[in-house]
Amino acid sequence: MPEALRLALAIAAKDVRAELRSRTALLSAVVFAALVLVVFNFARDPTAIAAVDLAPSVLWVTFALAAMVALNRAFTVERENGALDALLLAPVPRGAVFLGKLLANLAFVGTVEAVTLPLFVLFFNVDLGHALPGILGVTALATIGFVAVGTIFSAMAVRTRFAELLLPVLLLPFMVPPLIGAVQVTSRLLADRPLSEMLGWLRLLALYDVVFVTLCTMVFASVVDE
């Protein structure tokens, strides 16, 4: 297992390096997320709904859309130069390849989220205060689950002609449980509610992560191997 983990880290590091070299995709994704936030601000009646009431939903819809954009290109890069085929020729366990791609996608989505969060505080005038560690925690918990499913779907979608359309259609139903949980926990964190009120949701999010990361690691071989 440590060997597989080392391979996964090497694959993730390769992807992150490639990303840092070009930076265009990351920059576009960040700008996209910022634009979604701006659009959201105008897509409400400021006299009827206070920005704070809408804040958790806005944050999570923005994260979800940004993740979708990020995942869409996760495997297109591999396809363009046949890099995935080369990677698969190497005697690397498929589970390790999946974990590597998952870590790279998490790094990408995590970066976008890390930039979006301060912008969100700025635009929506939210006082994060001591809710910040909790928000970071629940963001990680929710993101891992749907990025795992998204990673496997994006590997499938690139093999089709309309990947950009197919990935959201397949992935959105899978985003529902993590998204509902994350919004619920975030709004409780912002309202300074006690931990006991979030425990059910946190358990659900953790269970989702465990189930889908495990399952996706197991079935990834069926996606990439003839």
The helix/strand/coil state of 203 is: helix
Pick from 50, 132, 172, 191 the residue near another protein by CB under 8 A.
172
Q: Quick one: which H or E segment has residue 45?
A: none
Kindly state whether residue 181 participates in binding another protein, applying the rule CB under 8 A: yes
> How many chain residues are in contact with another protein, going by CB under 8 A?
33
Kindly state whether residue 98 participates in binding another protein, applying the rule CB under 8 A: no
Pick from 49, 169, 195, 210 the residue near another protein by CB under 8 A.
169
Pick from 3, 159, 191, 195 the residue near another protein by CB under 8 A.
159
CB environment 106-126: b (16+ within 10 A), e (fewer):
bbbbbbbbebbbeebbebbeb
Quick one: which of 157, 159, 161, 177 has its CA closest to 71?
157
CB environment 189-202: b (16+ within 10 A), e (fewer):
bbeeeeeeebeebb
Question: Of 29-37, 53-61, 89-97, 208-216, which segment contacts another protein by CB under 8 A?
Answer: 208-216
Distance CA 224, CA 206 (A): 27
Kindly state whether residue 191 participates in binding another protein, applying the rule CB under 8 A: no
Residues found near another protein in the complex (CB under 8 A): 149, 152-153, 156-157, 159-162, 166, 169-170, 172-174, 176-177, 180-181, 184, 200-201, 204, 207-208, 211-212, 215-216, 219, 222-223, 226
